[in-house]
Amino acid sequence: MTDCYNDLIKYYEFQTGQIPDRETLKEGLQQTISEQEVKLILLIPFFGKIKIEKLARKAERKLGATADALDRMLDHLYREAFIMKQVGDKGLYYERAFSSYMAEQQVRMRQGTLLGKIYAQFWNDLSTITIKTLPTKTPYFRVVPVESTVTEKRTIPVGDSIPDARQVLPIDVISELVKKQELIAVSECYCRLSEGMLGRECSYPRETCFTFNDMAENLIDIDLARR
């Protein structure tokens, strides 16, 4: 029989590469969501979103889930940050949450607990170990060349300075970009929370993470951010 928790971890590893301590993560998942709920996540498309009516039909056919049972599972998965939802012009949609989003919210909601520490370690591994082995042709940590050095056919002597056409945006430009967002939320920094839960307490302010629009709405709704 297929282990659905392993299947969920394989989905996360598709995004991250091999997870260093997958057995501990599996223990955390087993303490957080049920097998039936994991199977429901796996009914949601690998990429993109699914309309609630279509998901309900799949859940009834493959899991034998009644409408009430489906509503309970979806609400729990949403509040545990394993799925996200969006209300559009054509109704309600659900999508799988990325591993980083799930880990971030678990850290925020389980501060000071052993289960929270499992997710803090998972997030720490994502940001320090796994990120070096992402399953992409282009590594995450890399030297980004100045465009002119690869588009113009010219020889650059060793030791010559190369002008960088990039710029740091001034605060007034950033402020205007932020003002144009329909919804802004702020929440606690999961990096600093993780460090604290792993015994490396951080003295800097914690309520510093901004999210916008759909993601902000999700986090406000599950009480992990404020407008």
Q: What is the pLDDT of residues 215-226, one digit of tens each?
A: 999 999 999 999
Mean pLDDT of 182-204: 92
Residue 81 neighbours by CB under 8 Å, 6+ apart:
97, 101, 102, 104, 105, 106, 109, 222, 224
| Angle subtended at Cα 42 by Cα 118 and Cα 102, rounded to the nearest 5 degrees | 30
pTM above 0.95, yes or no: no
Residue 102's pLDDT band (cuts 50, 70, 90): very high
Q: How many residues are listed for the chain in this entry? A: 227
Tell me the per-residue pLDDT of 119-169, one tens digit each, with 9 for 90 and over: 999 988 888 877 677 666 666 566 667 666 666 667 778 888 877 767 788
Position 131 scores a pLDDT of: 67
Position 142 scores a pLDDT of: 64
* Two structure tokens written together for 180: 């144009």
